[in-house]
Amino acid sequence: MTLRRFLAWSLYALAVALTFEGVARLALSSPRMREGLFTNDDASWRLQWAARQAEQKGLNYVLDDWSPSRGWTLKPNLRDVPFRGKVVNSNSKGIRGVAEFAYEKPPGVTRIVVLGDSFTFGEEVGDDDTYSHHLQNLIPNSEVLNLGIHGYGHDQMLLYLQEEGLKYRPDIVLLGFMPDDMERNVLSFRDYAKPHFAVKDGRMELTTGPIPRPEETLAAEKWRSRFLDLLTMARSRYEWRSGRTSATTKELTAAILDAMKAASETAGARAVFAYLPVYGEIPRTDEGMTARERAFFSYCKDRGIASLYIQPAFRAKARRGVKFKTTGHWGPLEHETAAEGLKDELVAKGLLRGPAPAIASGSSASSSQ
């Protein structure tokens, strides 16, 4: 090929690439087009976040603080901040509520660290209406620390536990499990940039580095190829439909939860996982479990993890005619009922007798089911 022909083909290829990029940028600049193309993948979530920056700079909520390891967390020292019709407070460590907790646990106190997403955090309810707050009132001589954060996947919960939760020397690490959070584990961008793990050769590895500040992410956004974003979204849609991503999600979630159990037990705490019923799962009056519940409790049984089934607390009230909120986040009634179910299960299974002995990382200990 002559130099002239090479240059001609290069210019042609460049023109085609610029045309594709221009069309992609035009298409993705339309909110309706972005919504129509949205897939549960990094590109889709990142484009939504970037589009909001014209009206709201930084992270999603006024409550959010940037975290270099987890992406976002709750701001410390919040006082009566209006949010979703309620007010939110946080202590000096960014834990929901005004109560302060020393890392050193007081003698004679049962300390429970609770992990979870926005349902655990208590989106749409006040500090004193969260199930963590009710649980502390129901268990004598206890401290219940609500480490729930909106939008978190289990990967972020694991890091929060390792970085901060275990410093409090808990007797119990209680995970408020929701199946929807599993899909967040395969993402590296959701409400904002976040950590991502992958399972390679049977080992779980962190594939992301430090999370950049929002202003850095936004500055880099203008240089990203929108055409590549479209290709990424198309590939992600195919992999979800083919089942490949679903299989990866299950494998990765199991690895993360295994690590959560191991970290808890190594620190001398009991790992206790509770299935949180939501939406149509809440008001059921039948005795059977849903497919999602069966999968969760089967995993816990296989791994020797103490598991709590709290739907019967909702069922008992539903049979008496109590009407529950089945859309959006839990309200005060649902949080109160969840706390009652948690307390009854913890007592019935003998999980409030004190700390479990520390064991070597990666080993397995049997627990009450």
Per residue in 162-184, pLDDT tens?
A: 999 999 999 999 999 999 999 99
C-alpha distance from residue 316 to each of 212, 285, 301 (Å): 47, 8, 25
Phi, psi dihedrals of residue 224, rounded to the nearest 5°:
-75, 145
Confidence tier at 363 by pLDDT (50, 70, 90): very low
Confidence tier at 346 by pLDDT (50, 70, 90): very high
Nearest-CA neighbor of 194 among 148, 246, 153?
A: 153
Q: Are 331 and 314 in contact (CB under 8 A)?
A: no
Residue 362, pLDDT score: 37
Q: For the chain, give the percent of residues with pLDDT over 70.
A: 95
Residue 353, pLDDT score: 62
Residue 366, pLDDT score: 32
Nearest-CA neighbor of 300 among 175, 187, 181?
A: 175
C-alpha distance from residue 49 to each of 21, 72, 104, 116, 134 (Å): 20, 13, 39, 22, 34
Confidence tier at 64 by pLDDT (50, 70, 90): very high
pLDDT at residue 60 tops 70: yes
Tokens of 214: 């929002």
Residue-wise pLDDT for 148-157, tens only, equals 999 999 999 9
pLDDT at residue 71 tops 80: yes
| CA atoms within 13 Å, Cβ hemisphere of 101 | 26
- d(C-alpha 16, C-alpha 81), whole Å: 51
pLDDT at residue 356 tops 60: no
- Domains annotated for the chain, with CATH where assigned, are 60-211+243-348 (3.40.50.1110)
More confident residue, 14 or 192: 192
Residue 182, pLDDT score: 98
Out of 6-20, 56-70, 243-257, which region has the weakest mean confidence (pLDDT)? Answer: 6-20
Residue 359, pLDDT score: 38
- d(C-alpha 327, C-alpha 205), whole Å: 36
Residue 355, pLDDT score: 44
Tokens of 41: 């993948």
Residue 1, pLDDT score: 65
**Mean pLDDT, rounded, for 126-152:** 97
Tokens of 26: 């035009």
Quote the distance between the C-alpha of residue 175 and its chain's center. 10
Residue-wise pLDDT for 294-329, tens only, equals 999 999 999 999 999 999 999 999 999 999 999 999
Residue-wise pLDDT for 18-44, tens only, equals 787 888 788 888 888 888 989 999 999
| Helix 226-242 / helix 3-28 crossing angle, nearest 10 deg | 70
> Which neighbouring-strand residues pair with 174?
114, 272
Give Dmax over CA atoms of the chain in angstroms.
Answer: 85
- d(C-alpha 196, C-alpha 180), whole Å: 16
